[in-house]
Amino acid sequence: MTERPRRSRDPRWSRPSPRLSARRYAWLPPRLSARSRAGLTAPAAALTAVLVAGTGVLAGCGSGGSATPDGAKKHTAAPVWNRSPESVAAVGDSITRGFDACAVLADCPEVSWATGTDPAVRSLAERLLGPTAAKKNSWNHATTGATMTDLPDQMELAAREKPELVTVMAGANDACRDTTGHMTSVADFRASFETAMRRLRAGAPKAQVYVSSVPDLKRLWSTGRGNPLGRQIWKLGLCPSMLRDAQDMSEVARQRRATVYERVVAYNEVLKDVCAKDARCRYDGGAVFGYRFTGEQLSKWDWFHPSKDGQGRLAEIAYRKVTAEKYPG
């Protein structure tokens, strides 16, 4: 039997330099021992010198900072979310205008979840600023019937106020069309929202943005369809793609409502995605979409828009998300 050669007690490689992180620089060759260096040819020794010297350069590189003269890293802090903004501007549609919350087929901005002044609602602005300051430092640029194509102009108006926080709730009217074929395409919805964010950033680059998800229209139909008065209001043309023939449970009607539901889900994915690309934007994580409105939280006239109670619940959700220490909150 051939004798197995003995292992040299003098290791070929010495331990890596203590200055280097073993995990971060695991791909670099370790520092050579004196005996190993003596056995290298001149070209190999030169290459080794370059690699070893290069670790000093690499030690000063990496994401999150640059090397300073004394060798320490200079870190650039990411933007910090201000949980106590001192001014609020709102953009969006009829929900933010308090439509049908105080009177039939009429706006009632004083009960708006975002900027309202009604103490029964305790709007987001009042919760953040207090009642007195909210009256001076909050603005409502939402309009009933607005779709996402209207948001860029609303954002431009909001930017002029130089608000510290802008609230966004839009998209329901993009799905609430005469037919499912007339709903705003997902691509157009995205393009309009991206344009709106650019308009805001052009005028108010440091404004924070809270983006509400689009409510679940199918759930609202399911909750309100049992009310006779609500069904009569629906016949006036309220969200026909979802609410038309409210009691029709045929396969065609079911498929129509499912199509609207799926489009709303797609809109919310767009809101989430676009918001995630902006360091000063927070999406609600689908909180409004997932909220189960009861009859008490829907308008007693149309059983579709939020009542005062419903507006208060929206304000509560928004306040919780805006003031959360960690995101998503």
**CATH code of the domain in which 258 resides:** 3.40.50.1110
Residue 83 lies in a domain: no
What pTM, to 2 d.p., does this model score? 0.77
Single residue among 77, 102, 135 that ends a domain in this structure: 77
144 and 224 share one domain: yes
210 lies in some domain: yes
200 and 278 assigned to the same domain:
yes
d(CA 190, CA 192): 5
Q: What pLDDT sits at residue 44?
A: 41
Does a structural domain hold residue 327?
no
- Chain centroid, CA 247 distance in Å: 35
Alpha helices (H) in 24-140, listed in sequence order: 34-38, 42-58, 124-129, 131-136
Q: How far is 253 from 275, CA to CA, in rounded Å?
A: 33
Instruction: Give whole-number Cα distances, 225 to 136, 203, 294, 303, in Å.
Output: 40, 43, 12, 8
Taking a C-beta distance cutoff of 8 angstroms, is the pair 109, 99 a contact?
A: no
CA 286, CA 2: separation in Å to the nearest integer?
Answer: 72
Q: What is the pLDDT of residue 329?
A: 56
CA gap 275, 209 in Å, rounded: 8
Residue 136: closest CA among 149, 126, 151, 147: 126
pLDDT tens for the 329 residues of the chain, in order: 444 444 444 433 334 444 333 333 333 333 334 444 344 344 444 434 433 344 333 333 333 344 444 444 444 445 589 999 999 999 999 999 999 999 999 999 999 999 999 999 999 999 999 999 999 999 999 999 999 999 999 999 999 999 999 999 999 999 999 999 999 999 999 999 999 999 999 999 999 999 999 999 999 999 999 999 999 999 999 999 999 999 999 999 999 999 999 999 999 999 999 999 999 999 999 999 999 999 999 999 999 999 999 999 999 999 999 999 988 65
Last residue of a domain, which of 32, 52, 77? Answer: 77
Q: Are residues 255 and 138 in the same domain?
A: yes
Same-domain pairing of 73 and 157? no
Statement to judge: residues 224 and 161 lie in one domain: yes
Residue 1 included in any domain: no
Residue 69: domain span: 8-77
- Which pLDDT score, from 0 to 100, does residue 260 have? 98
Any domain includes 328: no
CB 300 within 8 A of CB 143: no
Q: Where are the alpha helices (DSSP H) in the chain?
A: 34-38, 42-58, 124-129, 131-136, 151-160, 172-175, 186-203, 217-224, 228-234, 240-243, 251-276, 287-290, 308-322
Report pLDDT for 79.
59
Do 124 and 191 reside in the same domain of the chain?
yes
Q: Is residue 58 part of a domain?
A: yes
Residues 65, 116 share a domain = no
Domain final residue pick, 18, 42, 77: 77
What confidence score (pLDDT) does residue 326 get?
A: 85
In this structure, is residue 56 part of a structural domain? yes
Q: Judge if 193 and 238 occupy the same domain.
A: yes
Query: Number of folded domains in the chain?
Result: 2
The verdict on 63 and 16 lying in the same domain is yes
Q: Are residues 172 and 298 in the same domain?
A: yes
Residues 70 and 109 in one domain: no
Same domain, 60 and 115: no
